[in-house]
Amino acid sequence: MQAIILSGGYGTRLKPITYTRQKSLLPILNKPMVAHIIEKLPHEVNRVVLAANYRSDQLEEYFKNNDFGMDIIVSMEDTPLGTAGAVKNASQYIDDTFFVLNSDIISSIDLQALLDFHRETKGLGTISLWPVENVSEFGVVALEDDGKITKFVEKPKKEDAPSNLINAGAYCLEQEVLDYIEKGKMVSMEKEIFPRIIADDKGFHGLQFEGYWMDVGRPSSYIDAHKMLMDKKGVKMWQGEHCILSGRFIYSCIGNKAIIGSSDLVDTIVYDEVTIGDDCRITSSIIGANCKIGADCVIENCVIGDREIIKPGTRLRDESVWTKPLPEGYPHQQIGNAVQK
């Protein structure tokens, strides 16, 4: 059995930390997001295909140095192809029932339960479902009692919504689904392919799960994911290896080899090999690798790129800090994403 992990895109909402790293390698509690996903796969999955484009070499390097006990392949896209286009591009590696998973969603989903339900229903596709309050921001499914999905309703008014359940970004599909996708085109699985399967009455189902679900594509939700997981582990701080720390840390994650003086960090993510001086207050921020932050700085709601130097006494609020040229190949503005969230 195989799994395709949608690892493409640039992560523009998380720039500038995505200027220098592949989006799915962004750490959650000091471990890449994609690693969290792979560790949840059922044991019978023996091949993972990473559909990627920007900085795919970093994925290849990571999996060369980290063994997950299965065949892991990076499937390159010359340009972003959307959720369905990326799957079709990776179809040469698929010879069985397969998962499709979004790399920027952290959730409590039981993928074995999703697979079991898919086999019971014997349809072409089964997707995970998550309840939301703000249905007008999502594509909502009409669901029958047996789990059969009869239609998607895009961003309905609350009173018109057939349910409060949205696509949660994990699919279990049969190979026949690949026949619906045109090769080499930007195609959305959710907006174009799934409605066709439903119209053909090929068997399309949804399974709701409980626990937690979070899209970590924005700085605020990326920080919230850390806080949520720390809460579940019963801690208010997460620390990497070989750190020298003197400060006070509340819901903050500190990377490896960090040196932090007597400063306060709240709701903050610090990457590897960062140095922070004394008497700083940093809140709701992301600090890239190898940054040096001088003493007596106040930083609030900021994203600071790798290797930036912040002078002592600096005050920053609601800023993205990047003083170097834009990396080659990175877009100047957000590129539309065919993933429906």
Give the catalytic positions in this structure: 155
For every residue of 60-124, DSSP letters joined together read HHHHHHS--SSEEEEEE-SS--HHHHHHHHTGGG--S-EEEEETTEEE---HHHHHHHHHHHT-S
| Whether 255 contacts 245, CB under 8 Å | no
φ/ψ (deg, to 5) at 66: -135, 120
Helix (H) or strand (E) holding 221: helix 219-233
One-character DSSP codes across 185-206 = S---IIIIIHHHHHHTTS-EEE
Say which amino acid occupies 120: E
47 φ, ψ to 5°? -145, 130
Which amino acid, residue 1?
M
Closest of 218, 226, 230 to residue 301, by C-alpha: 218
Instruction: For the beta carbon of residue 157, count every other beta carbon within 10 angstroms.
Output: 9
Phi, psi of 55, rounded to the nearest 5 degrees: 55, 40
CA distance 188 to 232: 34
Q: What is the largest CA-CA distance in the chain?
A: 64
3-state secondary structure of 216: coil
**CA dihedral in degrees (197, 198, 200, 201; nearest 10)?**
120
Closest by CA to 189, choosing from 6, 1, 2, 3, is: 6
Q: Is 329 exposed, middle or buried (0-12, 13-18, 19+ CB in 10 A)?
A: exposed
